[in-house]
Amino acid sequence: MRYVDDAPAAVLAAAKDMLRRGLVEGTAGNISARQEDGSIVITPSSVDYADMALDDLVVIDLDGEPISAKEGRSPSSEKLLHLACYKAFDDIGSVIHSHPVHATMFAVAHRGIPACIDEFSIYVGGDVRCTAYGASGTADVGAEAVKALEGRGAALLANHGMVAVGPKPSTVLHITALVERSAHIVWGAESLGGPRPLPDEVNQGFAGIYGFLRQNPM
């Protein structure tokens, strides 16, 4: 089971950085990390990232029940998405759900993002798949995300946004930003005749690197 050292500090730092990068606005999106005892530190519901502090974070168990929480704070409404990912993948220590503009455009269109850039497959594992639709906050979102995340570092959530997974919040935030940048590039390439995917053998080789890095994070 992978966990994150000083998970609360790592979650808060990533939350602030996610807002700074424009990957979310206001209170949208959520970040979590797994602790050594198996509990999950997650951002609270309805607290602006600009104002969020360490004592605003909530600790929950794998059933979603609060272990510790400041009065008036409750775990993110998307906790079921996070918990589904942790239960499915022992090799991840963090989950980030975000609403970046270009990646969400693909999610709204129910289109995956093709692996057209070398570094994309290295850090994400290949094409980013789009899930079947699941209503926000329901177990369906997590169940569909787990399917789309098999062998990948990110997935699009139909009509919603994206989810990314990895060893620690800073790495998962890098994946999130890379997917958003690639979505922007692919969207622009559509006006130039459409993106051209990398050769299959290249993507397979890069996917192998992704698999190694996922099991042996730096």
For each of the domains in the chain, give its residue range(s) and CATH number, in order of start. 7-215 (3.40.225.10)
pLDDT at position 159: 97
Reported as a single tens digit per residue, the pLDDT across 60-99 is 999 999 999 989 899 999 999 999 999 999 999 999 999 9
Reported as a single tens digit per residue, the pLDDT across 7-66 is 999 999 999 999 999 998 777 899 999 999 999 999 999 899 999 999 999 999 999 999
Record the pTM: 0.95
5: region left, alpha or beta (phi > 0 left; psi from -120 to 50 alpha)? beta
The beta strand positions in 110-207, using DSSP E, are 154-157, 161-166
Reported as a single tens digit per residue, the pLDDT across 122-146 is 999 999 999 999 999 999 999 999 9
Which residues are CB-contacts of 33 (< 8 A; sequence separation ≥ 6)?
3, 4, 7, 8, 10, 11, 40, 41, 93, 94, 168, 169
Does residue 108 surpass a pLDDT of 80? yes
pLDDT-derived band at 120 (thresholds 50, 70, 90) equals confident
| Residues forming the active site | 78
Reported as a single tens digit per residue, the pLDDT across 173-184 is 999 999 999 999
Q: Higher pLDDT residue, 32 or 204?
A: 32
Residue 135, both tokens = 């209503």
Does residue 128 contact residue 113 with C-beta atoms inside 8 Å?
yes
